[in-house]
């Protein structure tokens, strides 16, 4: 009734027996090379990530020390900056909600 979509020249559904060892060998070789290439790439990326992490960590340490020194030298300026930043952040968060306050005026009998 219906014929196979990819008929084999030898009439079977599998590859010829004499071609299988070459195909397996080629696949095995390809898989080994791919694995080695991926391992090399992974090692390179890991080394770059560690280098970047070390740089960021040292810069953060420097900035932290600079901040501590500045706060010790000018504590009132640091306090004012902290209050100002806190006010701005609080204002930004509260601006997303509208607050309506109704006041009663005792003079009009309400």
* pLDDT, tens only, 29-81: 999 999 999 999 999 999 999 999 999 999 999 999 999 999 999 999 999 99
Q: Tell me what pLDDT residue 72 has.
A: 95
Query: What does R_g of the chain's alpha carbons equal in angstroms?
Result: 36
E-only strand ranges, 1-110: none
> Quick check: 28 pLDDT over 60?
yes
Structure tokens at 87: 């006010």
Give CA torsion, residues 23, 29, 32, 36, to 10 deg.
-140
pTM over 0.85? The answer is no
**Mean pLDDT of all residues belonging to the chain:** 82
Question: What span, in angstroms and rounded, lies between the C-alpha atoms of 42 and 35?
Answer: 10
User: Which residues neighbour 110 within 8 Å (Cβ) at sequence distance 6 or greater?
Assistant: 104
């Amino acid at each position: 009734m219906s014929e196979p979509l990819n008929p084999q020249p030898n009439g079977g559904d599998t590859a010829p027996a004499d071609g299988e060892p070459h195909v397996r060998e080629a696949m095995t070789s390809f898989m080994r090379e791919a694995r080695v290439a991926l391992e090399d790439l992974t090692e390179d990326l890991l080394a770059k990530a560690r280098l970047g992490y070390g740089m960021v960590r040292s810069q953060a340490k420097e900035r932290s020390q600079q901040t501590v020194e500045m706060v010790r030298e000018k504590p009132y300026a640091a306090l004012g900056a902290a209050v100002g930043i806190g006010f701005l952040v609080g204002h930004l968060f509260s601006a997303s909600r509208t607050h309506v306050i109704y006041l009663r005026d005792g003079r009009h009998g309400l």
